Structure 1
Amino acid sequence: MARDATNRADLRPAGIRRAEFIALVASLMALNALAIDVVLPAYPEIASAFSLDSDADAGQVLVTYILGFGLGQLLFGPITDRFGRRGPLMAGVAIYIAAALLSPLMPSFALLLGLRFLQGIGAAATRVIAVAIVRDTMKGRAMASLMSLVMMVFMVVPILAPMAGEGILRLTSWQGIFYAMAVLCAVVAVWFSLRLPETLPAERRRPLTMRSTIEAVRLIARTRVALFYGLATGFIYSALFAFLTLAQPLFVGVYGYEDSFTFAFAGVAALMGATSLANSRLVTRLGARRLSHTALTGFLLVASALGILSLGGNPPFWVFFGAVCLVMPLFGLIGANMNAIAMEPVGEVAGSASAILGFLQSVLAGLLGAGVAALFGGEVWVFAAGLAAASLLSLLTVGLAERGRLFRAPASAA
């Protein structure tokens, strides 16, 4: 490039515009988010096709996918730091596509679960490498701004994906959902191969050895900001996981809004997307720390207020829904900013760091979110308490990362 790139915040490859770059990275992240939730409406058909005892047993297709996704991140992190971004990503999407195409042909539920596990491993490449590409090409507030737009897609897709799955089911069967995933992944893979060059030059690649992997883990463990912000992000995402799991039981089971559930869900998704879009503009002026710390505090206050109002019995729907519309959009000011802060000091091992932090966040969010869902018995206060606990743990962990100095950027980032 004609100008010295070392002091620039935006190091995108020449020839690709910012809007296309954002759309491409967001599409990679969306492939994983889509595979998680687009299958949800097909549980009854899958249970019937394989003679399962109940529709809930079909939920194992989600559990096995997430297990493969978590473990796959640890696999692709070191690989992408050694061989670059393009090759490992193409391998990952090939696994994803093959598993999606073969899943409808399986004669037994066990074989279907095995392919979902493999699909999760393939999807791990999209998450790890998307974040690594952003870290390769962005610094500081520019990285946080771009990540906010990418994470907008990552947060909204899981909410809208069930509606897409329902639409596919109306046209075809549960097998059609897997074929649709394969087609979409192939389109994104071709787009990526044609438009985005390698972002990790050969001189920055690391050897693929156990020692180099251990060194990456040690670097994150020694880097206070990376470790604690990674943990804090996992804590707060457990609240999002709990919401996705409990939204239908709350809206339909508790309040009886079956007919309008889809529209209410979409409304919350739109608000989350709007705050992510706003964050992409605000972060360059206010900074990732000030925005995320303020949003975390607001999240804790709103969730606590809903919990208090629910102690005497479930509150009126307008109180519950109003609180949800206030608290859930705050993810748009939290997730992308805290991920960017965590990745900033470990750019030298961006692939491995993305994998390790992604695995850590997935495990924390999945276990804690599932714990909240397991405790839920129709009481709104359980849901609210879970959100409050998640935000409190996240805020306390951020405090440890910043040594108690919240709402301000470090002197070196000014």
Structure 2
Amino acid sequence: MLETAVARPLSRSLPELVAGFALLTCLTALSLDAILPGLPAIEAEFGVSTTDTQLVVSMLVLGMVFGELAFGPLADAYGRKPAIMMGLGIFMVGTLMAILATSLPMLLVGRMIQGIGVAGPKIGTRALIRDQFSGDAMARIFSFVVMLIILVPMVAPAFGQLVLVIGHWRGIFISYAVLALIGATWLVLRQPETLPQDRRIPLVFGKLATNTALIVGHPKVMAYTAVAGLVFGCQVTYLSTAQAIFSDLYNAGTRFALYFAILASGIGLASFTNGRLVMRFGMQRQIITALVGMIVCSAVLLLLSWLGSGHPSLLTFLVLGYGLFFCVGLVFGNINALAMEWLGRVAGLGASVIASVSSLISVGVALLVGQFYNQTLYSLSLGYLGCAVLALVLVLLARSVSAEAV
């Protein structure tokens, strides 16, 4: 029997719990990655450029900036289920707008609304798990859910490609709606509320503003948050341009999903190995080593791109890209925990602020770097190199700053 933190007896099986939690949490990764094979069709239908369709990815992340900031306090004030259901409802509105879009601007508004909404299940589901389980039981649930979260980005483009084979790019958004409805139905019928009334924290906007100011004003927290944003920004840039890169440079066609999965598995491998490595070397050393690795890989990729007139061989891109993604996975596995170390009594709000600010930075990076895409790897390799150098400087500066925990 799994250890539970609520008095109500657990009547659901472990596979059901993992599947339900993973479905709600993985909507974010699916929303980001499954649409990638459809970007050329969107470009053709609306008569826009590759640079314009990059916004289909960026606007989702921009919406998450606002959603991540709001749903943490909402889940604490009104309960986990209402927050998740509110998020799913907003997500459905954005999805419907995208399905009915008659222009790229209308589609982008829908994507931004989707981003606001998808933050609800992303944040609320983690709170559900934390409320119901503790100790080894919580670690067990999280490990299964994280395993599925790692696998979803690897297979999401293949899922999107399959939808395109049998239908239209709008069918990808219809599949989002179906999955959201399945998740909402499971939540209503099978998952009880886990936050009792006496544990809820009322929304007091003055106190929220004061605590937010403490978090934003903490030099170490903001330095590590900026690092997270810079590295995530590299990934958003890659997601925005991946379809175009593999099509323009390597004529990948239907092999795009395979190449995408190969690179994504680098992050997966890093996630699986990080636990053992961090216990041996520590978070800071792990992050510094990973950032140095990013600098080396991106510098070599830039050099070989220059020698190849912007078109290094596919094998070169996959090998160096895999190294880059492995290093990115190591940073992701540690940087949020390092930032959260300095947030004691405001950890819940702090997690929302960190996620929101890092998402905002990542959108800025993606918009800046993505506009320079010119059917070469120059902009992508330069983006990774510049962000990794800046992130390393921030980590080293944060180590030298003295600060008290909030």
CA contact (8 A) 1:144 1:283 kept: no
Per-residue Cα deviation, 1:201-229 (whole angstroms, up to 9, x for no partner): 65554331321221231231244443222
Supply the RMSD in Å over aligned alpha carbons: 3.9
Deviates more, 1:281-290 or 1:81-90: 281-290
Q: In the superposition, relative to structure 1, how do residues 390 and 25 fare at CA in structure 2: closer, same or farther (>3 Å)?
A: farther
Aligned to 2:47: 53
SS at 2:384's partner residue? helix
Percent same amino acid among aligned pairs?
32
Match of 1:383 among 363, 380, 384: 380
CA contact (8 A) 1:81 1:206 kept: yes
Q: State how 1:83-98 maps to structure 2 within 5 Å.
A: 83-98=78-93
Give the Cα–Cα distance (whole angstroms) in 2 for the partners of residues 130 and 270 of structure 1. Answer: 24
Q: What is the TM-score normalised by the length of structure 1?
A: 0.78
Give the Cα–Cα distance (whole angstroms) in 1 for the partners of residues 332 and 373 of structure 2. Answer: 25
Give the Cα–Cα distance (whole angstroms) in 1 for the partners of residues 140 and 297 of structure 2. Answer: 25
Match of 1:73 among 64, 68, 75: 68
Per-residue Cα deviation, 1:2-46 (whole angstroms, up to 9, x for no partner): xxxxxxxx9976858988766655433320221223233334555
CA contact (8 A) 1:159 1:244 kept: no
Per-residue Cα deviation, 1:52-94 (whole angstroms, up to 9, x for no partner): 3336556655454333332222332332232232221121112
Match of 2:399 among 389, 399, 402: 402
Q: State how 1:253-268 maps to structure 2 within 5 Å.
A: 253-258=248-253, 260-268=255-263
Aligned to 1:5: none
Unaligned segments of structure 2, at least 5 residues: none
Match of 2:359 among 357, 362, 366: 362
Q: Cα offset for 1:387?
A: 0.9
Q: In the superposition, relative to structure 1, how do residues 299 and 19 fare at CA in structure 2: closer, same or farther (>3 Å)?
A: farther
Aligned to 1:330: 327
SS at 1:359's partner residue? helix
CA contact (8 A) 1:236 1:390 kept: yes
Match of 1:172 among 167, 174, 184: 167
The alignment status of 1:296 with 2:291, answered yes or no, reads yes
Aligned to 2:265: 270
Q: In the superposition, relative to structure 1, how do residues 282 and 300 fare at CA in structure 2: closer, same or farther (>3 Å)?
A: same
Q: Cα offset for 1:123?
A: 0.9
SS at 2:400's partner residue? coil
Aligned to 1:208: 203
SS at 2:72's partner residue? helix
Q: In the superposition, relative to structure 1, how do residues 393 and 183 fare at CA in structure 2: closer, same or farther (>3 Å)?
A: same
Task: Name the aligned partner's letter for residue 278 of structure 1.
Answer: T
Give the Cα–Cα distance (whole angstroms) in 2 for the partners of residues 359 and 309 of structure 1. Answer: 35
Q: Cα offset for 1:233?
A: 0.5
Aligned to 1:126: 121
Give the Cα–Cα distance (whole angstroms) in 1 for the partners of residues 393 and 132 of structure 2. Answer: 31
Q: In the superposition, relative to structure 1, how do residues 389 and 203 fare at CA in structure 2: closer, same or farther (>3 Å)?
A: farther
Aligned to 2:317: 320
Q: Cα offset for 1:319?
A: 2.8
Give the Cα–Cα distance (whole angstroms) in 1 for the partners of residues 48 and 273 of structure 2. Answer: 43
CA contact (8 A) 1:77 1:352 kept: yes
Task: Name the aligned partner's letter for residue 86 of structure 2.
Answer: A
Q: In the superposition, relative to structure 1, how do residues 41 and 318 fare at CA in structure 2: closer, same or farther (>3 Å)?
A: closer
Give the Cα–Cα distance (whole angstroms) in 2 for the partners of residues 169 and 229 of structure 1. Answer: 39
Q: What is the TM-score normalised by the length of structure 2?
A: 0.80
Per-residue Cα deviation, 1:275-308 (whole angstroms, up to 9, x for no partner): 2122245445554334333222222222223333
Q: Cα offset for 1:263?
A: 1.9
Q: In the superposition, relative to structure 1, how do residues 135 and 239 fare at CA in structure 2: closer, same or farther (>3 Å)?
A: farther
Q: Cα offset for 1:234?
A: 0.5
Q: Cα offset for 1:235?
A: 1.0
Unaligned segments of structure 1, at least 5 residues: 1-9
Q: In the superposition, relative to structure 1, how do residues 108 and 263 fare at CA in structure 2: closer, same or farther (>3 Å)?
A: closer
* Equivalent residue pairs, number: 396
